[in-house]
Structure 1
Amino acid sequence: MPTTTPLQLPNSRTEPDGSAVIRVLSYNIRSMRDDTDALARVIGACAPDLVLVQEAPRFFRWRKKLARLAAESGLVILTGGATAAGPALLCSLRATVERTEDVLLPLAPGQHRRGFATAVVRFGGARLAVVSCHLSLEKEERYEQGGMLLDRLAAMGVDHAVAGGDLNERPTGPTFSRLAEDLQDCRATAPWGSDDHTFSSAAPYQRIDAIFATKGIEVLACGVPLYHPGVTEPDLKAATDHLPVLAALKLPPT
């Protein structure tokens, strides 16, 4: 990772017209099997309003582990974890929660169970549907799950939505392209920072993690927070095997 100056992202705020600027972080945390202190420092330094987690703890005392990470990052658990087969949502106290739902996807023989962590939240006068996902390693199943993700967003009955996670596929792949046709690929819409590779954290060489937003949302900036103030290279390498994706979004009032 080359050295560069810190990059500032727009701060969270609510505008007089009811619109809201929020920060959304998507992060595969590898079941918190690495340096959890470094993980909490990275998340806390990004000051997110929403965190779309993949590979949250799913087994022994998983709720306690996820709650500890949320508390140490200055956040609270919104939904997900083992009940969504890994995806989870964390949020700041800015969020007013309307409802949550964890969705398990059909289980293909020989594959891992997958799911979505979903919620509807409000920031100021803006209402938002949110989905965290971790798609299959198998190409055909992954493509089907991409369609299920779009169907889930449509079924949530909210005009504006954010979805993100570990797609296990690069932007040129069919599932990534399918999502980018219906939604904004936030990194492609408003690139922030010089590098968009998210895996692996030790030697990044591919972009397989992304944040998407419906087209009524203004994407202010999106990228890997390599040089965000308070985020250090040693912490990024120690926290997990993925790099996070951070986006600043302006939500229109409902």
Structure 2
Amino acid sequence: MARAEHPDRPVRVGPYGAFARAGRRILIRMATTPLLPDSRTEPDGSAVVRVLSYNIRSMYDDTDALARVITACAPDLVLVQEAPRFFRWRKKLARLARASGLVTLSGGATAAGPAILCSLRATVERTEDLLLPRTPGLHRRGFATAVVRFGGVRLGVLSCHLSLARDERYAQGGMLLDRLAGMGVDHAVAGGDVNERPDGRTFRRLGNSLTDCWAAEPWGGEYTSTPAEPHQRIDALFATRGVEVLGCGVPLDQPGVTEADLRAATDHLPVLAALRVPAA
């Protein structure tokens, strides 16, 4: 534990660059994290694609704050978990996309919660929503999937929210890998709420077959739960081999992303990655 100028008054550094001293919360200036690369197409035909994964808790919280966070991250793709699933769910998801400068690509109630938003930079080749086998007594799960193009780059995309039940979650991890393998693309990105820490067997199963983007090139913050007290990484982005990870993490120092908005938007923190995808 660090100490202030008064040795009897402890200082504890917090997850948002703040510390408490003598019962007061005081903001301090921390080293600025370098920004992730902007979206672009490289001279060799490869593309830098910005991908955001975000559990939005059915938009029960501050949707203006949620839209501000997404907009500030400037993503090409947003892999959503817990999208609205009930009354007027399509309108709610479309409203969030519009407020964030994006469009709805796939998912929502038809995928039992996962969804994909995208910028107009993406050319959509196809989409498919998949419902996974249901275990009696447990919430049904699904995948929102798509194949998109960025110039000459072709990319498979999958958004997921895995089960809270250990055995079902492990089986769903295998289904995720099978689905990526069957998408007919050389490169893909998958992301979502894994509901498990990196030392769990499902997380390790995914990491053994795919690249765990944060582990490959950590950037920003690590922990995604909870915004009020980040202490665990249960949300992640994974990429297939051949996709170069330029940086991945919670966008704590991203311009336009504020602590207040991160706390107000939902009960998870987002994961942002910049990926360089080879040309097809």
Indicate the TM-score class for this superposition, using the shorter chain for normalisation: over 0.9
- Contact 1:7-1:229 at 8 Å conserved across structures: no
Secondary structure class of the residue paired with 1:220: strand
Alignment of 1:65-104 (within 5 A): 65-104=92-131
2:61 to 34, 43, 56: 34
Which of the pair has the greater relative contact order for Cα pairs under 8 Å at 6+ separation?
1
Picking from 223, 237, 251, the partner of 1:211 is: 237
- 1:49 aligned partner: 76
Q: What is the distance in 1 between the residues matched to 2:34 and 2:234?
A: 22
Q: Cα gap change, 1:234/1:7 in structure 2, threshold over 3 Å: closer, same or farther?
A: farther
- Equivalent-residue separation in structure 2 for 1:49 and 1:7 (angstroms): 19
Structure 2: give runs of 5+ residues left out of the alignment: 1-15, 18-28
For 1:108 and 1:7, locate their aligned partners in 2 and report how far apart those are by CA, in whole Å: 44
Measure how far apart 1:16 and its partner are: 2.2
Distance 1:10 1:105 in 2: 35
1:169 is matched with 196
Aligned to 2:187: 160
TM-score by length of 2: 0.89
Structure 2 equivalent of residue 107 of structure 1: 134
The alignment yields a C-alpha RMSD, in angstroms, of 0.7
1:6 Cα offset (Å): 5.2
Instruction: Output one character per residue of 1:109-140: Cα deviation in whole Å (capped at 9) or x when no partner.
Output: 11001000000000111100000000000000
Matched, 1:188 2:196: no
Query: Does the CA-based 8 Å contact 1:133-1:165 persist in structure 2?
Result: yes
CA distance in 1, matches of 2:227, 2:54: 11
How far apart in 1 are the matches of 2:44 and 2:215? 28
CA contact (8 A) 1:221 1:247 kept: yes
User: Residues of 1 paired with 2:39 and 2:262: CA distance?
Assistant: 23
Q: Deviations 1:180-223 (Å, cap 9, x if unpaired)? A: 00000000000102x30000111111000000001110000000
**Which 4+ stretches in 1 moved above 4 angstroms?**
none
Q: Give, in whole Å, the separation in 1 of the partners of 2:166 and 2:81.
A: 19
Q: Which residue of 2 aligns with 1:139?
A: 166
Q: What SS does structure 2 have at the residue aligned with 1:106?
A: coil
TM norm structure 1 = 0.98
Unaligned 5+ segments in structure 1 are none
Offset, 1:17? 2.1
Do 1:27 and 1:244's aligned partners in 2 also have CA atoms closer than 8 Å? Answer: yes
Question: Kindly, what percent of the aligned residue pairs are identical?
Answer: 77
Question: Which residue pairs with 2:86 in the alignment?
Answer: 59
SS at match of 1:197: coil
Please state if 1:229 is matched with 2:255: yes
Q: Bigger radius of gyration, 1 or 2?
A: 2
Matched letter for residue 208 of structure 2 = E
